[in-house]
Every structure is written in C-alpha cells, then in structure tokens.
Structure 1
Amino acid sequence: MGDDPEGIERSVEKTLGTLRKLDGASRTAPQPLTLEDIYKQQRMRMIRLAILLVDEPTTAEDVVQEAFTGLYRNWSGLRDANAAIGYLRTAVVNGSRSVLRRRKTARAYEPPHQANARSAESLAMLTAEHQAVVDALGQLPRRQREVLVLRYYGNLSEAEIAEATGLSKGTVKSTASRALSALQKIMGN
C-alpha cells in the first residue's frame, strides 16, 4: 500500500465512507426544517465529524454544543433552514481549530499527551486496515486532516470544503493531494 497513491486514496475513502455509513449519513436525506429537527438529525453526525478532527469525544461534544448554541442565536439571521447544516459544519470545523490551537498552547507548557480517545465501539467496528488509516489521519497536520475528513467522511465537494474551511477551491484540491501523499508515507513506514 505504501507505493500506490491511488491505494491510499481508496483506503481513506473506504475507511471514512464506512464511518459515514455507520452513522447513517446520506447526502440525499431530506433537509430538516426546524432547529429541533436539525438537532435530532445532525447532532451525532457533527459529533463524529468533530471527533475525527479533535480526536477526543468529550471535547467534540463541547464543540458541537457550541455550534448548536451559535445556530440557535443566529437562527433568525439564516437565509433559510437549509443553510443551517452548512453553518453547523463550518462552526464545528472552526470550533475544532480553536480547540487544537488551545491544545497546542497548553502542550507548550506540558509534556505532549497522545490519547487514543475513540470509543471502544467505534474501534471494534473498524478492521485493522481502517484503524491504521484513522491513526494515520491523526498524524496529519490540521488542515490536511480537515480536508480529507470533510471530503471522505463528510462527502463534501471541493466547493463545500472550501466554504466550511475558509480556503479556496484550489487550496482544498492541493491540500487533499498533499494529505494523501503524506498518508502514503506514514502508512508505508
């Protein structure tokens, strides 16, 4: 797998696609209309997205709770209820970035701590290959991990990733390419 760039991309797509299916996520699901519907339909998916970005379930739950709080505060300002999903996704990505920045600052004063905080259930559902991919994702720089997670777990287009991360479409594309190359090196060792 180490010398095959397409193989790495297939592994990432397969792993994050498997997680997406386990979550019951679908791009064709009907869009919710009320804040309560959005909460019921999107909460767990947003938590899993945050877990893939911050690698800590309790922190991920906090990030998502803050995103929903922000959505509630800005509900009347949304152009329509369908924009809420994009708002939440962007809020989760930005909240995850803030958590990682705070973590980096805290670690400057404390010894680094590598915590594998994934739930036992989620790890049990993954094959050894899938676990290797998820572990390798955790070694990528933040931006590369975000782009791959949003692409393969979030099943988003380059334009949607660009909107959620504040990057240009070209940067999203080049970042994904560099991330897949980095994963190839990590998994080839």
Structure 2
Amino acid sequence: MSRPPDDDEFAELVHAAWPSLYRTAYLLLGDRAEAEDLVQTALAKTYAAWGSVRSVEAAPAYARAVLHNTASSWFRKRSWRNERPTETLPEIAHDFDLSNRPAVLAALAQLPQRQRAVVVLRYYEDLGVADTARALGCSEGTVKSQTFDALTRLRTLLGDTVVADVLTQDLP
C-alpha cells in the first residue's frame, strides 16, 4: 500500500500540473485572471485534502477533478460573472431608511417561526430556495409557500413600499 504524499511532493505537483490545470481553466472560463483564480482555488482545496490523496501518481487526477468541481460550483452561483473590477468605486445606490427598522422587527416577530426563518434566510442571508430548504429540513415547495405567506403578511402589516425597501437592505 502506498503512503500519502508529503508537502514537498505537493510543491512538485503544483509546478508540474500548473500549466495543464491553467490551460483547462482558461478554456473553461475564457479569462486569464479568472482561470488563475480557479487554479489557485483548486490547488488550495487539493492541499486541504492532501492527506486523503492516496499516492503521488493519483494527485494530478485528483487536482483536475477538484478544478472541474470548483468550476461547476462557480457556474451555479447567481453572482457568476457579475463582479468586475473598475477604476473607481460606484456611488452608493441609495441611502437606507432605518426609521422603519423597529416596525420591521415588530412585524417579523408577528410571523410564525417557520415564516420568519424563511424570510431571514432568503432575504437577509441571501440563500436560494434549495439552500433554505436544506437549512430548515423541509421541501422547496414549503419554502416557496412559506415565503409567499410571509410576504403577504408583511405587506399587510407594513405596506408594499416598506417591504420592498426592507428586503433589499441589511438590518443589523
């Protein structure tokens, strides 16, 4: 049985596999900087699991699999390719009206526990329907119906304008 690779062997892997991993990442993403980020992330994940790599011979294939899995997870994110560097920072879109905060907190307190949890996870933690369902241990349909019911109740308590404004800001 072979022994797990050591840190020196990981350094050798990085030097040997980088060109191939970078080429694959570039072909997947079409951007040099993003390709470098993908390879760096994949190699960091590979190093984090380095003790479970069975042999030096298996390491390049393992790193390549990590690269593909990481790229796939990047593609699934809603924010994929929405963030771009700019020369100057944009102006703040609008100032949040914190005067509604006590009313919002009071309205949230009037919601049943599951509806409150769904609103917090979906709108303040920015989780998707599937992630919220996993976090709460329920179905995606339940998350959708609870969200609908919660927003209907919040609109009744606060009004449409307040609900729309509040759901786009962070409440400390």
What TM-score range do you get, normalising by the shorter chain?
0.3 to 0.5
Which protein shows a greater Rg? 2
Report the TM-score when normalising by structure 1: 0.36
**Greater share of helix:** 1
